[in-house]
Amino acid sequence: TDEDQLYIMGREMARIHVVSNDFKSDYKRQPMDLEFLVERPIRQIEKFWGNKNDEKLNFLLNSADLAVDELQDILNNTEETEDGWGPIGGDFHNVNTHFKGDQPTFFNFDLCGKGWRAYDIATFLLNTDLLHKSTTLSEAFFAGYYSVRQLSSNEHEAITPLLTIRRVWLTGTFSVVDGIVGHTFIAPL
């Protein structure tokens, strides 16, 4: 994925966020709230981990608690982000996007529902590994996003705890079938 494609993906994600502000549906979707993103995955992880007192489990649980506390502090401050919560894709990244020329096609909306727009961004950053690549690539993505929708300072601050929350969710998801796998990527960046 190059800078031009990242710019386009940021721009189109923001367009989806803006256009979906008025979306109405008779179908109920799972909101991507803290129950879905943290509490259920933690229960799943603890189920597979069992009663063992383990340093890795404690690290994961403490990381989740700290991320939730940080996110709640951000959400409960006086700054209001008018459209910070609304329909999101839930799993935006380059593997779920195909390009034909400069025209992207997004797919895999099985996780879509109401959630924090910053969660879509955190998911994208984590899934594309942009945090470990050249800053020009992440700047291209954000420039595209900002060309359509500005992030509030709350949303910017929320990205960091939402990165950890995404890792917790993935760990819980990976543990559904086979037991715990992938818990080592919960470590701070």
Residue 88 CA, distance from chain mean position: 10
What are the tens digits of pLDDT across the range 79-126? 878 899 999 998 887 778 888 988 888 887 778 899 999 999 999 998
Residue 14 CA, distance from chain mean position: 14
Residue among 121, 98, 96 at smallest CA distance from 110:
96
Res 187: pLDDT: 46
- Share of residues in the chain with pLDDT > 70 (%): 92
Contacts of 169 (CB under 8 A, 6+ apart): 36, 37, 38, 41
CATH 3.90.1200.10 fits 3-186, yes or no: yes
Res 188: pLDDT: 44
What are the tens digits of pLDDT across the range 161-184? 999 999 999 988 887 655 555 545
Res 178: pLDDT: 55
Is 189's pLDDT higher than 50? no
Residue 67 CA, distance from chain mean position: 13
Is 186's pLDDT higher than 60? no
Res 131: pLDDT: 80
Res 52: pLDDT: 73
Angle, CA of 130, 20 and 75, to the nearest 5°:
65
SS3 call for 110: coil
Angle, CA of 66, 71 and 77, to the nearest 5°:
125
Of the listed ranges 14-18, 125-129, 145-149, the least confidently predicted one is: 125-129
The ranges assigned to domains in the chain are 3-186
pTM of the model: 0.87
